[in-house]
Amino acid sequence: MSDMHLIALPRLQTAIAQVVRGFGSSPDEVAAVTGNLIEANLTGHDSHGIGMLPRYADAYLQGGLTPNAAVSTVLDGGSLLRLDGNRGFGQVIGAQAMALGIARAQAHGSCIVALGNSHHLGRIGAWAEQAAAAGLVSLHFVNVISRAIVAPHGGGDARFGTNPFCAGVPLTGRPPVILDFATSMIAQGKTRVAMNKGEQVPPDCLIDDHGQPTREPRFTVVPPFGALLTFGDHKGFGMALMCELLGGALAAGMTQRDGDASQKRVLNGMFSVLVDPAALADRASFEAEALAFIAWVRASPVREGFDAIHIAGEPERAWRAQRTAAGVPVDATTWQEILAAAGRLGVDAAAVQAAAF
Ligand SMILES: NC(=O)c1ccc[n+]([C@@H]2O[C@H](COP(=O)([O-])OP(=O)(O)OC[C@H]3O[C@@H](n4cnc5c(N)ncnc54)[C@H](O)[C@@H]3O)[C@@H](O)[C@H]2O)c1
């Protein structure tokens, strides 16, 4: 297992902002990208945190990621928006797309946002949290245009990405319920993190290049490539398919089938549905019923081997509290990769190192 660094949050923020400045980003973009990536680490999703920066640097240097881009509106149907992310940082494009959709949902009661051509949107939960903060329920079906990495149920090679699904429910005066997961058994980034840590992945997550079960994370990181499996057998596969049909074919007009695997860029298509519960029902009685159901679910006796019944979004909040106080663990391999990426971006890696420690 490789060494771990524990980096205090303010130091990590300073160090990562220095790296992101290497993209030539505006101050607002530096803040958005730095904040979103570190937030993924804080919420326990290292796979979508600062460890993505080396990939972003390669994508940028190849011309597949365009700093300082903004979302543009391709179709304005009032409560139907079709948006183009112009290959900008997903951390910026996602926030802009949600802001546009939120304004329309507040005006019309609901809005469908079809976003294509955005660079990696990171942790999709961030976009459900943005909608929930505005009092909106949201659903997000997302496809990934990159090297295919997940096999269809019953298939022996990779045909699509880790296609995340996310849903958020706001509760006045309380944290929202945020369900946010990849439709693969584990997120791709988690295999990279496992490989960097020298760990194996759990059983039944991965097949090798011959379609045989393996626990070696390298089969999704370096050739010869195998594939991740979908969660829940045909059920996760079905959700992944819908993410591709809705986030890909419908929202982005592009599916993984078209992806150029030689490119480092990761594009996401996202089909989002935003609903104002107050426009559809009585907000107070909706929330009272939702809270009563959550209490009913929590009253189930905790089975052996489990610590408690958790509601989606709670694990992330627990991680955030713990890591905000104690610092963010970053494995040594990932940290070295970030310093190397800084160098490729023309940033003084020694200064980044000095800022972090
Ligand atoms: N942008 C992209 O291309 C892309 C692709 C794939 C995944 N992702 C992101 O990767 C992140 C990680 O995905 P993942 O599949 O590893 O997530 P995961 O397996 O950790 O599942 C997370 C979800 O399950 C809930 N949860 C976790 N433990 C729970 C428990 N014990 N009881 C009840 N609920 C629990 C969490 O609150 C959260 O909603 C997500 O943020 C996702 O959006 C992004």
Percent of the chain residues topping a pLDDT of 70:
99
Exposed / middle / buried, residue 22 (Cβ in 10 Å: 0-12, 13-18, 19+): buried
Residue 228 has pLDDT above 60, yes or no: yes
Using pLDDT thresholds of 50, 70 and 90, give the confidence band for residue 2. low
Q: Name the residue at shortest CA distance from atom 39 of ligand 1.
A: 179
**Helix H or strand E encompassing 128:** helix 125-133
Pair 275, 132: CB distance under 8 Å: no
CA 53 to chain centre: 14
3-state secondary structure (DSSP) of residue 84: strand
Residue 1 has pLDDT above 80, yes or no: no
Residue 192 has pLDDT above 90, yes or no: no
Q: How far is CA 284 from CA 108, 171, 177, 289, 290, in A?
A: 20, 9, 16, 9, 10
Atom of ligand 1 at shortest distance to CA of 187?
16
Full strand arrangement of the beta sheet holding 137-145: 72-76, 80-84, 110-119, 267-275, 137-145, 165-171, 174-181
Does residue 124 have its Cβ closer than 6 Å to ligand 1? yes
The domains of the chain are located at 1-62+331-357, 72-184+230-326
Residue 315 has pLDDT above 70, yes or no: yes
Phi, psi of 124 (to 5 degrees): -65, -25
Tokens of 318: 């627990």
pLDDT in tens, 38-80: 999 999 999 899 999 999 999 999 999 999 999 999 999 999 9
**Pocket probe mutation, ligand 1, options 39, 48, 139, max atoms within 8 Å of Cβ:** 48
3-state secondary structure (DSSP) of residue 229: coil
Distance 182 CA to ligand 1 centre (A): 6
Does residue 144 have its Cβ closer than 6 Å to ligand 1? yes
pLDDT in tens, 257-309: 976 778 899 999 999 999 999 999 999 999 999 999 999 999 999 999 999 99
Pairing state of beta strands 137-145 and 267-275?
Answer: antiparallel
**Positive or negative torsion for Cα 132, 134, 137, 139:** negative
CA distance 268 to 321: 29
Q: Which fold has domain 72-184+230-326?
A: Ribosomal Protein S8; Chain: A, domain 1 (3.30.1370)
Residue 18 has pLDDT above 80, yes or no: yes
| Architecture in CATH of 1-62+331-357 | Orthogonal Bundle (1.10)
Distance 124 CA to ligand 1 centre (A): 9
**Pocket probe mutation, ligand 1, options 143, 180, 192, 309, max atoms within 8 Å of Cβ:** 180
> What pLDDT shows up at residue 190?
81
CA distance 5 to 334: 10
What distance, in Å, lies between the first and last C-alpha atoms of the chain? 21
User: Which residue is listed with tokens 């159901």?
Assistant: 293
Residue 123 has pLDDT above 60, yes or no: yes
3-state secondary structure (DSSP) of residue 145: strand
Percent of the chain residues topping a pLDDT of 90:
93
CA distance 108 to 275: 9
Pair 207, 191: CB distance under 8 Å: no
Pair 188, 149: CB distance under 8 Å: yes
pTM over 0.85: yes
Q: Name the residue at shortest CA distance from atom 27 of ligand 1.
A: 315
> What pLDDT shows up at residue 279?
98
CA distance 251 to 260: 19
Atom of ligand 1 at shortest distance to CA of 178?
39
CA distance 342 to 218: 24
Task: Output the average pLDDT for the chain.
Answer: 96
**Pocket probe mutation, ligand 1, options 139, 147, 181, max atoms within 8 Å of Cβ:** 181
Atom of ligand 1 at shortest distance to CA of 231?
15
> What pLDDT shows up at residue 179?
98
